[in-house]
Amino acid sequence: MRFTVTVLLALAPLAALAQTVPAPVPASEVFTREEIGHALAAPTPQAGRTMPSAANAPEDDGQWTMPSKNYASTRFSALTELTPRTVKGLQPLFSFSLGVNKGQEAAPIVADNTMFIVTAYPNYVYALDLTRPGAPLKWKFAPKPLPASQGVACCDVVNRGGSVSNGKYIFNTLDGQTIALDVRTGKPVWRTQLGNINTGESITMAPLVAQGRVYVGNSGGELGVRGWIAALEESSGKLLWKAYNTGPDKEVLIGPAFKPAYATDRGTDLGVKSWPPQAWKIGGGNVWGWITYDAELDAIYHGTGNPGPWNAEQRPGDNKWTAGIFARDPASGAARWYYQFSPHDEHDYDGINEQILLDMPFAGTMHKVLIHFDRNGYIYIIERGTGKVLSADPFGPVNSSKGVDIATGELIRNPAKQTRLGQVVSDICPTASGSKDWNPSSFSPQTGLVYIPHENICMDWMNMQVNYIAGTPYVGANVHMKPGPGGHRGELTAWDPVRRGPVWVDKENFPIWSGTVVTAGDLVFYGTMDGWFKAVNARTGELLWKAKVDSGIVSQPISYRGPDGHQYIAVLSGVGGWSGAVVSGPVDPRDGSAALGMVNAMSDLPKYTTAGGTLYVFTLPH
Amino acid sequence: MLALGGCNKGPAADLPASQIGSQAVIDSALIPGLTRSAVSSDPRVAQYYDNADAVNTGKRLFGQYNCSGCHSNGGGGMGPSLMDDEWIYGGRLEQIHQTLVEGRPNGMPAWGGKVPDQQLWQLSAYVRSMSLPATLAAQNGATPSQTPAPVPREADDHAGWSPPPGTTNDYTTLTTGP
């Protein structure tokens, strides 16, 4: 066999190439925070204390009924048994195999002394009885989503969790259903089919339940799926309204009540006009991240995903209403304001990350704001009533833009990092998955800090012409990711939103793809992709405790009060998601462009962890 | 534009993986180690062996039909890696061709009747080439499968064919710790 000889000779460099992480981007390639951070006014911390309102963050009852803990989305637990002193004794109490070895991104939910978990595809739901030793199974529900839905899940077959409300556990399936189960029996109360996998549509987000409505959005920004958000009646599953994020105003639910803060968002049918003809129909803008309900202003806020295809040269225009954030009327869906984080996005900067609702001092008075940590690298503080940006500061390395013009709200693009057909543009920061992806931050009213789990990754990008074929990827980019300055790929940043800067930063070898939870004992819990579950001091970042679990962690830890009155910490292991697909998916570390270029920065992960999927519950011995 | 799942023949026919009238009947040899496949080969396959044109055309089509969107440059993503030596549905050219024609249940669209059959063979040849030692050896940088070697006939000679020992950087066999 002729080819054998050549192969043997070429082996050595190849083997090295397979699992070597590329060199980090030099620090000189990115802007400093001071260079590109902007605010409408200087910090005025003396004007008041940063807190969520009581309406959005009622007193902690020790349960954890929704992934975000409360409407304000603080993910703050008022329990105090665990402190920097006692946490050293924290021990695993029980574990439970989820029977699915894919990326587990969900938060365990605790209500009425029962724990509910939804797994990655095939989206099993487990209810565990916390009142009995070992938390035995009460019931398991298998929704049996269509197997073909696995082929339209862009970034592993994940699910970000469910919520308990009025005796129902409500969650979504990968093949586009929203299902409400009776918490006592596990039997479906209703099932509503919302998505259609034949167009590439799937659902991976955690539904938001508030005021008798269930809010759901679709995934599919990598398959030319037109993004929408829908509201269902909580009692029946009946569709109440559906708003698209591209297209004519009447389908976006833009009407007389729409009062965006900036001139660029005013006009008729911008969701059509800011695209080439018909392109809005396959233009993305999906709602696969977090929807937030504001009980004070009776509004919902939700980000919109990246425009499709990734190749921006195929869609000249601002591509509204993608890569931005909407405020909508919860009852009708009517849009109130919108702000676009990344007009004509060229780098896959979805706007779907969480928002935390706070009252915060700014320019000498208290303001009702939301804090949003965008993929494009900026922390936005936005006035909830108007959609006006008060400040925008980078929290990781950025060079794809040169800051936000705080007068016009406009992202100032960096022409040097604009993406081009057939040309590799190198060292773009942040990477496609952003300075931070979907995994949520937490806020402590005690420290006044937000705890941001995020990434330090950059990328090389080449645009390629792509055809639209329904149900297949509509991407058109060859991407290779690499570590950002410093070479560490993850960071946990404690950020002071009032003073607009980091208080401390903990570095991680791998990107942090788990959420954080912060407790009244001043502890921050998070997991790492190489399988460590950690507790750090919320005031200093000092590592206080860690435990090794069976697989990397990409989920959302919680803290709850057990039936015995003690504090418990729960988390799912199971590496996966976009960043972990090189372990959980059948993805090959030799192809740097695999998993949309993520593999290039993550090819060594198989050396550190294997696929898994287990619930772990920790407590102090008592 | 090409609509893969757009037809309206009831829910089952609507799936991306819906089976549309299969062509030649081909089955894999179920007993590993047979020197010859238990069933006769599809006669159409012959011209795609040792055919440099076929793999190069297949490479172009792999991008045009968005295969690369799901399988990247062979390393996978939404779909499995095609450059390793593991085949769920068989790695002989005719088996790969059948996979493309019929689609597969866990999310592989069916392309039969939507893409000319000759192109499906060319795509199959390119897919088979990805894990050939010669193609793997030619990889230069982090993007594999850019210079695909023609598929030698012996690669398909029996179901259990695998590359000669020591000729791939087969990370699936041995992973060393950090």
Residue spans of the domains in chain A: they are 5-619
Are the Cβ atoms of A151 and B133 closer than 8 angstroms?
no
Q: B115 in a domain, yes or no?
A: yes
* Whole-angstrom distance, CA of residue A285 vs CA of residue A302: 11
> If you count them, how many residues does chain A have?
622
* Whole-angstrom distance, CA of residue A312 vs CA of residue A437: 20
CATH superfamily of A5-619: Quinoprotein alcohol dehydrogenase-like superfamily (2.140.10.10)
A293 close to A209: Cβ distance less than 8 angstroms = no
Q: Compare all CA atoms of chain A with the CA of B174 and give the residue at the minimum distance.
A: A607
* pLDDT value of residue B166: 61
Q: Concatenate the DSSP letters of all residues of A189-238 into one string.
A: EEEEE---GGGT-B--SPPEEETTEEEEE-B-TTTTPPPEEEEEETTT--
A314 close to A465: Cβ distance less than 8 angstroms = yes
* Whole-angstrom distance, CA of residue B168 vs CA of residue A68: 47
Pairing of strands A299-303, A291-294: antiparallel
For residue A441, what are its two tokens?
A: 């931050």
Q: Is A222 a catalytic residue?
A: yes
* pLDDT value of residue B159: 55
Q: B103 in a domain, yes or no?
A: yes
Query: Helix H segments across A19-111?
Result: 33-36
Q: Tell me the residues of chain A between 170 and 229 that have a Cβ less than 8 Å away from chain B.
A: 197-199, 222-223
Are the Cβ atoms of A147 and B167 closer than 8 angstroms?
no
- In chain B, the percentage of residues whose pLDDT exceeds 90 is 52
CA quadruple A301, A305, A306, A308: dihedral sign: negative
Under 8 Å CB-to-CB from B50, ≥6 apart: which residues?
A: B150, B151, B152, B153
* pLDDT value of residue B170: 60
Q: B165 in a domain, yes or no?
A: no
Pick the closest to residue A148 from B76, B12, B96, B97 (CA basis): B12
Q: Compare all CA atoms of chain B with the CA of A582 and give the residue at the minimum distance.
A: B77
What domain range includes position B85? 66-154
Are the Cβ atoms of B166 and A585 closer than 8 angstroms?
no
* pLDDT value of residue A153: 94
ipTM of the complex: 0.91
Q: B16 in a domain, yes or no?
A: no
The pLDDT confidence band at residue B163, using thresholds 50, 70 and 90, is: low
* Whole-angstrom distance, CA of residue B5 vs CA of residue A369: 44
The pLDDT confidence band at residue B97, using thresholds 50, 70 and 90, is: very high
- The angle, 0 to 180 degrees and rounded to 10, between the axes of the packed helices B93-102 and B117-130 is 120
Q: Which among A123, A172, A306, A456 is annotated as catalytic?
A: A306
* Residue B176 in contact with partner chain A when CB distance is under 8 A: yes
Q: B136 in a domain, yes or no?
A: yes
* Whole-angstrom distance, CA of residue A282 vs CA of residue A34: 38
CATH classification of the domain holding B122: 1.10.760.10
Q: Compare all CA atoms of chain A with the CA of B83 and give the residue at the minimum distance.
A: A588
- Radius of gyration from C-alpha coordinates of chain B: 16
**Burial class of residue A37 (count of CB atoms within 10 Å of its CB; 0-12, 13-18, 19+):** buried
Q: B149 in a domain, yes or no?
A: yes
Q: Which residue has the tokens 């090819």?
A: A603
A487 close to A604: Cβ distance less than 8 angstroms = no
* Whole-angstrom distance, CA of residue A223 vs CA of residue A205: 17
Number of domains in chain B: 1
End-to-end CA distance of chain A: 68
Tell me the mean pLDDT per 10 residues along chain A, length 622.
33 50 96 96 97 98 98 98 98 98 98 98 98 98 97 95 98 98 98 97 98 98 98 98 98 98 98 98 98 98 98 98 98 98 98 98 98 98 98 98 97 98 97 98 98 98 96 96 98 98 98 98 98 98 98 98 98 97 90 94 95 98 92
pLDDT tens, residue by residue, B124-157? 999 999 999 899 989 988 999 999 999 998 888 7
For residue A570, what are its two tokens?
A: 């729960």
CB nearest B6 (choices: A151, A153, A470): A470
* Residue B76 in contact with partner chain A when CB distance is under 8 A: yes
**Given a cut of 50, is residue B70 above it in pLDDT?**
yes
**Given a cut of 70, is residue B12 above it in pLDDT?**
no
For residue A463, what are its two tokens?
A: 């645009």
Are the Cβ atoms of B109 and A7 closer than 8 angstroms?
no
The pLDDT confidence band at residue B165, using thresholds 50, 70 and 90, is: low
Which residues from A are below 8 Å from B1, CB to CB?
Answer: 467-470
Q: Tell me the residues of chain A between 477 and 506 that have a Cβ less than 8 Å away from chain B.
A: 478, 480
